[in-house]
């Protein structure tokens, strides 16, 4: 699936929730969407992998860095897949590479 992260500011000692609209167009015809729906209907765990390259700038006092683009990979296990109600993350492990 693909989506774009909106630009946002993360303040000092602050938490931000970023909502991303995702498309499942690349998954149709592969059987993945049907398998995900089956696991979701059976009440099982749903494993997902998030990969992203997210350009960031860091500001410390009056100094702001140029843009750097770290690579992020998160392995998640969700409790269900739904457009209604909350989706719980059972497990999550993320790795960050700067180069």
Long-range contacts of 30-38, Cβ-Cβ distance < 8 Å, separation of 24 or more: 36/81, 37/81
Report phi then psi at 77, rounded to 5: -125, 115
Residues 21-48: pLDDT tens digits?
Answer: 666 555 555 666 676 667 666 666 778 8
Residues of the chain short of pLDDT 50, as ranges, are none
Query: What is residue 7's predicted lDDT score, i.e. its pLDDT?
Result: 75
**How many Å apart are CA 98 and CA 71, to the nearest integer?**
6
Residue 58 neighbours by CB under 8 Å, 6+ apart:
64, 65, 68
The residue extents of the domains of the chain are 32-97
Query: What is residue 30's predicted lDDT score, i.e. its pLDDT?
Result: 60
The residue with tokens 């969407």 is: 33
Query: What is residue 93's predicted lDDT score, i.e. its pLDDT?
Result: 93
């Amino acid at each position: 699936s693909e989506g774009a992260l909106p630009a946002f500011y993360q303040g000092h000692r602050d938490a931000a929730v970023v909502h991303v609209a995702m498309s499942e167009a690349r998954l149709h015809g592969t059987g993945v969407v049907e398998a995900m729906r089956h696991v979701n209907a059976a009440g099982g765990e749903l494993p997902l992998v998030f990969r992203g390259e997210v350009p960031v700038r860091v500001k410390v006092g009056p100094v702001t860095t140029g843009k750097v683009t770290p690579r992020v990979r998160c392995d998640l296990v969700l409790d269900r897949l739904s457009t209604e109600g909350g989706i719980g993350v059972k497990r999550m492990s993320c790795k960050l590479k700067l180069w």
